[in-house]
Amino acid sequence: MTLVVPSSTQFVPDGTNIPPNVVWRANSQIASLQLVTRFASAQQASGFPGVDFDINFRDATNNNLIAQRNSFWTETNVVDTRTFSNFQVAVELEGGGTPVGTHQGTVFGFSLEANDASTIFGASDRQILVDVERKLDRRPYQLVMTHTGVNSNRQIDLQPGVTAVSWIFRQVPPGIDITDGLPPYYFRLGFVTPLTPQGYTRSRRIVFQNQLFELEPAVTAIALTIRSGLVIDVSEYLVPFS
């Protein structure tokens, strides 16, 4: 057994405005492969009324759909087992469904394991899976949504599973002091303060153009203190973790 995707939190994009989340892709065609997909629970995003989402199994060479599991946000402790012969398989998560663009959320405790399904599953196939697992250790940030034109003090409730936010300047007040270092440091623009169910945690100053702020798992919202005349776009990100 090779655990190609360790237990993690995974973003389920709508698949229309945000492309599907490809959680694993084989590097080559495999003679006979059993994939076991698991997730502990799921949560639909606020503002997305679709009650279900899809786990897609595609042929990575042409993106044709081989199989699909239609899943519901209310399901818990799901185990799905499938065997594929002579396919280069890719596994993806997307909201899908109709109306398009209305299904989005997060799955928790998601994992994927690959098992020998026949005696002809050889060392070269196993090495392919090990190589892919190593690549998956370096997980990219995944954009969830962006709040544009933020220009006043406010609280932003984060989507489920979000563990980082970033911001970029759209307008900076005149007369602001800026250093000439790299990156340029902006003074007295404001603060971003994480909020947990137990209270606020330490603030981060707004000092850089295109600044990332990683959050603790317990954070459910951020509070913004913004200087008059500053306009920023705030983006939410999910960072999958093992």
Contacts of residue 88, Cβ cutoff 8 Å, sequence gap at least 6: 25, 26, 27, 28, 29, 30, 59, 60, 61
Rounded average pLDDT over 63-86:
94
Q: How many domains does the chain have?
A: 2
Specify whether 41 is located in the same domain as 147: no
- Which residue would you say has higher pLDDT here, 81 or 117? 81
Instruction: Check pLDDT > 60 for residue 11.
Output: yes
Instruction: Check pLDDT > 70 for residue 119.
Output: no
Specify whether 148 is located in the same domain as 234: yes
Confidence at residue 242, expressed as pLDDT on a 0 to 100 scale: 44
Of 109, 138, 167, the residue at which a domain comes to its end is 138
Rounded average pLDDT over 172-181:
92
Range of the domain at 43: 2-138
Q: Are 163 and 241 in contact (CB under 8 A)?
A: yes
The secondary structure of the chain, three-state, reads CEEEEEEEEEEECCCCCCCCEEEEECCCCEEEEEEEEEECEEEECCCCCCCEEEEEEEECCCCEEEEEEEEECCCCCEEEEEEEEEECEEEEEECCCCCCCCCCEEEEEEEEEEEECCCCCCHHHHHHHHHHHHHHCCCCCEEEEEEEEECCCEEEECCCCCCEEEEEEEECCCCCCECCCCCCCECCCEEEEEEECCEECCCEECCCCCEEEECCCCCCEEEEEECCCCEEEEEEEECCCC
Specify whether 113 is located in the same domain as 168: no
Of 138, 167, 192, the residue at which a domain comes to its end is 138
Instruction: Check pLDDT > 60 for residue 241.
Output: no
**Would you place residue 134 in the very low, low, confident or very high pLDDT band (cuts 50, 70, 90)?**
low
Specify whether 15 is located in the same domain as 84: yes
Find which of 21-35, 59-73, 107-121 is predicted with most confidence, using mean pLDDT. 59-73
Instruction: Check pLDDT > 90 for residue 178.
Output: yes
Structure tokens at 24: 């694993």
Specify whether 51 is located in the same domain as 64: yes
Specify whether 125 is located in the same domain as 197: no
> Phi then psi for 121, rounded to 5 degrees?
-75, 110
Rounded average pLDDT over 230-240:
89
Confidence at residue 205, expressed as pLDDT on a 0 to 100 scale: 97
If you average pLDDT over every residue of the chain, what do you get? 89
Q: What pTM was estimated for this model as a whole?
A: 0.56
Confidence at residue 124, expressed as pLDDT on a 0 to 100 scale: 65
Burial (CB count within 10 angstroms: exposed 0-12, middle 13-18, buried 19+), residue 43: middle
CATH (domain of 204):
2.60.120
User: Which residue has 């070269």 as its token pair?
Assistant: 124
Specify whether 124 is located in the same domain as 209: no
